[in-house]
Each structure stands twice: as structure tokens, then as C-alpha cells.
Amino acid sequence: MKPRHFLLAAALGASLLAAPLAPAMAGANDPLFINLTSDDGHRVNMAFAFGGNQHKRGHQLTVFMNDRAVRAASKANAEAFAVQQKTIAELLASGATILVCPMCMKQFGVKEEDLLPGLKIGNPELTGNALFQDGTKTLTW
């Protein structure tokens, strides 16, 4: 190895060792954005339960219901998603935001008038503002 290359490699190695590694940790009030794509009852419950628990701990919660998850947002599917829709109402009452994908609504035949009260139809501004807030952490179910 040429001396110049050795010095460059040594300097690079030293800089990597000296740089502190920042763990990926949530701040006390970092927002949480959950991307919910499933209409499987258990997975929907998991997303809402996890998000709801973090919301109670002070984290602003936004759930983006897209793909098949939009089915759980529809009053027309109340029988199949009774437990999940009760949880949606509780989360909304506690101040969480739940957005529903309009393209997915169309794909799965969910009409705007069938959405549960308090749900918002997502758009680039609403969804982007929630997703790209400083410190936002994201999860997907």
C-alpha cells in the first residue's frame, strides 16, 4: 500500500471511530405516523393499539389508512370491523388524526359518505405534513 493511501485509510478509520453513533430513539413527544395497509382484523388492532398507547404517552398520532385498510374505515363494513371501528372512534376522541387514502377508497369501493365520522380523506398536504414533521417516527402494519 502506498503511504498516501495508508494515511487516507487511517484518517478515515479514525474519523469513523471518533464519530459518536446516535441511537435511533424517540424524543419524549416525537410524532408517530402509522402506515396501515391491511384489512386483517388482528393487524388493524395491533396498529391502533400500539399507536393509541404511544398517543397516551404524549406522542401526536397520525394513522394513514391505505390499500385494503380503507375497508375498516367504512360504515358499510361495520359488522366485519366492529372492534376496530370502536377503537377508531376512541382514538379520534382522544385527538389522534386518521387519514384515509382517496385512491384506495376508489379501488375498494369505499364512498366518502360511508366513512366513519371524524376520518379525513388524505391529500398531499395533509399526509405530507404529518409524515414529514421534524422528529416523526414511522411504522407500518
Burial of 65 per CB tally in 10 Å (0-12, 13-18, 19+): buried
> How does pLDDT run along the chain (141 residues), one tens digit per residue?
565 555 555 555 555 555 455 555 667 899 999 999 999 999 999 999 999 999 999 999 999 999 999 999 999 999 999 999 999 999 999 999 999 999 999 999 999 999 999 999 999 999 999 999 999 999 999
For the chain, what is the total number of helices (H) and then of strands (E)? 5, 5
> At 1, is the secondary structure helix, strand, or coil?
coil
The C-alpha cell 386483517 sits at 40
DSSP 74: B
Q: Can you give the pLDDT at residue 15? A: 54
DSSP 3-state of 70: helix
pLDDT at position 27: 76
Cα–Cα distance between 65 and 77 in angstroms, integer? 15
Q: What is the pLDDT of residue 34?
A: 98
Q: Which of 43, 36, 62 is nearest to 129 (CA)?
A: 62
| Axis-axis angle for helices 41-56, 82-93 (nearest 10) | 20
* Closest residue by Cα to residue 36 from 78, 99, 89: 99
Q: What is the pLDDT of residue 100?
A: 98
How confident is the model at residue 13, as a pLDDT?
57
Q: How far apart are CA 65 and CA 122, in angstroms?
A: 9
- How much is the pLDDT for 28? 80
